[in-house]
Amino acid sequence: MSKLDAISLRDTSLPKIKVHATVVFSILNNFTRRSPRDSRVIGTLLGEVKDGVVHVTDCFAVPFTEKVDELLVTIDQKYHKSMYSFHLRNNKRETIVGWYTTTTEQGQFLNDNSSLINNFYRTECERPVHLVVDT
């Protein structure tokens, strides 16, 4: 059980979250370099929990495809696992604390597929942080 899981088992309130600036820049970089056919990007948030605060210190993009009209999301889980393994070799303290996305073409923060993506990240941590960057 990760520290984030332990917090959520004892407390039903929302945790305090601090996002490092480099994380936001990395997400924006991911968005600017996306394929023209992709309306938004997603990725994994990494960090640690200290004194009840979730510190989001790093992230990486995760390739995915979605069909909003069909409620269908395909996440490249192999890529996700290999990138996380790579990060663990460099920083053993960082764990998966959640995921990020950018807004949709229509400017929405959430769509129906967001719950499917969140379900994937619930297999990585009990209560994943969901960060939406308005692009």
* CATH code of 100's domain: 3.40.140.10
Which whole number is the average pLDDT over 18-45?
95
Range of the domain at 44: 3-132
**For residue 124, what are the CA distances in angstroms to 16, 32, 33, 99, 118?**
19, 27, 26, 10, 10
pLDDT for the residue 1 = 46
CA 126 and chain centroid, separation:
13
**For residue 98, what are the CA distances in angstroms to 2, 44, 45, 67?**
12, 6, 5, 22
Q: How many CB atoms lie within 10 A of CB 76?
A: 13
pLDDT for the residue 10 = 56
Question: Amino acid identity of 47?
Answer: G
Which whole number is the average pLDDT over 11-18?
79
Cα–Cα distance measured from residue 96 to residue 52, given in angstroms and rounded to the nearest whole number: 16
Residues 62-73: tens digit of each pLDDT: 999 998 888 899
- For residue 34 the two structure tokens come to 């996306």
- For residue 55 the two structure tokens come to 């510190």
Structural domain tally of the chain? 1
